[in-house]
Structure 1
């Protein structure tokens, strides 16, 4: 069982997040729009007989990973950094994909880096031979998540009934580690222009902590519904009506039982104030356009069905974790 290590402070990962020097942004001025070259470039006044249609995303969803403070990291300049803790997204290779979604992700992350909400770094992963394999990431100490679900049953309810899933997949197979999988949009990334879902996985010692974060969000919903009732709205808000801010735990816990094989890990922690007021609700509320995008094409209903099937497969042992983590409902 994990125990609280109150004497273990943060390992200094916060040093990653220094506000970046702002860079120039290219814009088109009204004077330039009047030039002939701009008219040609933008086909202004050209009467096309059709408009280009755009299909769904061409990519698998990007993984929003959680690091527990046990992965070696370094800066892009090669300098050593504290072990990474918190959220991270692996940087896609634009030379390999060249897809619109990846360019949008780079643009949105550039804004977060400028605002000091994210940092670029290299995380060293061991390869099959045990040698460190450098992978470039954007690291973030905190993100607000619009979790695509109808709610989250209690742990006991989910253990009792494998079909009791409302959009978040959860399973604890006998003799194996527990797993929790969810689909979410990041408020910070949506506000910066990246409006695609991310897949998230927690396992082992972080699973119960992630569940606690999801249940903590119910307190926000309870307060919001009370305000809505007073305003004449008698239908409760959606689970994703408000972003759930999740950051790094203020203390670590000890993972493992065998002597010499334990490690200190930082876990997901809900960054929700004790006093929830209208000002806080406004700061984490999903916009109408963002809600419409999240809900389009039956996304919530499809995620609920996926969470039931995903949980069933994990319990049955039909999931090879690293192979099938990328499956998602849409």
Structure 2
């Protein structure tokens, strides 16, 4: 068996390095990684997921006796997915891998590496999409108040924590979008923040008075006390004065949520879901919420309508005498 070719690819990560692929497949994987990084401009996390899935597919094909990409066919793709099912993979994982396979085979056909797109008719199981628990409006308010009480001493870290929590809940932005913000991404006059989302798509998201006050306090009294050389224009800083990372924000949210009696244990993504749910419950239309959250598909935003309906049904059953 030939040793895998590295081809200078930076995506030979994890499962790619572990897969003992023939040279043609390893070189192909390197080309595909460069396409994802340079042409599709995906995040490192998305690239890692795609490459891991395709490395698994190519390894399965190789073990099935296929030594050239021209011999990939629908039967091989289906047997690969079937193997995922027999090894106990979740339906969501199998659905994601089916999507990865279709994107890959479309690229093969588009770049004339194969004569046809063999994955165009590949089906995938319908994933059971569930959302994490969300906070009630009073719980969200208690979360912010608890953080604000701890920041009463005017400490830089306390002011930062309140500003981050306020902004996460006010805007519903992703944690990765939060930590990527720069100071000049905040338009104080219009009370909007410029966000660089998935696929490097930019959108503008408004925020309200409480978040504005928290941001002003952080920028005037908090950030100058923490910032060090090398921090650049980062809006939010870690304990060492440089751009804060996602792990620190997740830790903060979980810790603060634990201080709210009866609140579910959620992280930053749970605050995003909370913001979306509260917007819809308050009467915002679905299209507007889709734009605010940066969802590519309206179907993703529609998931929140189920959450709101379920909450309404529970309230009805608890309150109506003939429920």
Relative CO higher for 1 or 2, CA cutoff 8 Å, sep ≥ 6?
1
Structure with the higher helix share, 1 or 2: 2
TM-score scaled to structure 2, two decimals?
Answer: 0.25
TM-score scaled to structure 1, two decimals?
Answer: 0.25
Structure with the higher strand share, 1 or 2: 1
